[in-house]
Amino acid sequence: MPTVMITGASRGIGLEFVRQYATAGWDVIACARDPVRATDLADLRRRSGGTVAIEPLDVTHTQQIEWIAGKYAETAIDVLLNNAGDIGPRGASRENLHRQFFGSLDYEAWRRVIEVNVLAPVRIAETFAEHVARSTQKKMIFLSSTVGSIAEGKPPVFAYASSKAMLNKCVSMIASATGAQGIIAAAVCPGHVKTDLGGAGATLEARDSVHALRKLIAQMGPADSGSFTRYDGTRIAW
């Protein structure tokens, strides 16, 4: 069976990826910052028949990344799914969103967003490149957003938008750096999904977004490496 490793797997899109890949018969390495509190994820593991493994991972902790890489040193990872992310200051009623607006920027929070959304997925990709290269499918997928597109991104949220723009550029560079290994590295946008991160205005159910993304990922080939694609299969202008 193929293997997928998913970061940020305790809730939202990440949890739905675990559910759907496990249902499809994949072996799933589900990484969560606080597995003790990830009750829904633990329930999926119990019902999986042993195909779902849960690993503790704060993506900003290099030692945890390296520990998991060592534990799975002999495992070929077909799809490495960098899903974990930080939307930055916002608040339940968007009362903190001004901290991402020009004129009232919170630079410490901005640094945290870059650490989670850019440095962490690049570090994970670099650490697990050999695991992916040994697999059959050889795919590294990075959850991005259209707010990171220079052409499409209009919201004035400096921290989140700039981090996704940086991630997109890094994905294109990872694609170039790993092409000789046969790795396909691509950024995808899940759409505006009804999760804690997506907020009250979201219109897309997580199950529908993930179903479409899984189909998209399955169809990706070498020509798609370095691409930026919406969940519905349309390419996004950088």
Structural domains present in the chain = 3-230 (3.40.50.720)
Question: H helices of 32-154, where?
Answer: 39-47, 62-71, 107-114, 120-127, 129-133
pTM for the full predicted model: 0.95
Contact at 8 Å (CB) between 6 and 76? no
**Cβ of 11: how many Cβ atoms within 10 Å?**
17
φ/ψ bin of 102: left (φ > 0), alpha (ψ from -120 to 50), beta (otherwise)? beta
Nearest CA to 121 out of 86, 148, 155 is that of: 86
Q: How far is CA 160 from CA 5, 44, 226, in A?
A: 24, 30, 21
**Cβ of 145: how many Cβ atoms within 10 Å?**
27
pLDDT band at 147 (very low <50, low <70, confident <90, very high): very high
Which backbone phi and psi does 71 adopt, to 5 degrees?
A: -60, -35
pLDDT in tens, 52-79: 999 999 999 999 999 999 999 999 999 9
Mean pLDDT of 112-116: 98
pLDDT of residue 95: 86
Give the position of tokens 């329930």: 43
For the chain, state the CA radius of gyration. 17
Mean pLDDT of 17-26: 97
Question: What own/partner pairs with CB < 8 Å and gap ≥ 24 does 60-67 have?
Answer: 60/115, 60/116, 60/119, 60/120, 62/123, 65/123, 65/124, 65/127, 66/127
Q: Report the relative pairing of strands 3-6 and 79-82 from DSSP bridges.
A: parallel
The b-or-e profile of 26-38 (16+ CB within 10 A means b, else e) is bbbbbbbbebeeb
Mean pLDDT of 204-222: 96
What is the largest distance, in Å, between two alpha-carbon atoms of the chain? 53
pLDDT of residue 57: 98
CA distance 41 to 57: 14
Contact at 8 Å (CB) between 230 and 188? yes
Under DSSP, the state recorded for 118 is I
pLDDT over threshold 80, residue 116: yes
Contact at 8 Å (CB) between 139 and 79? yes
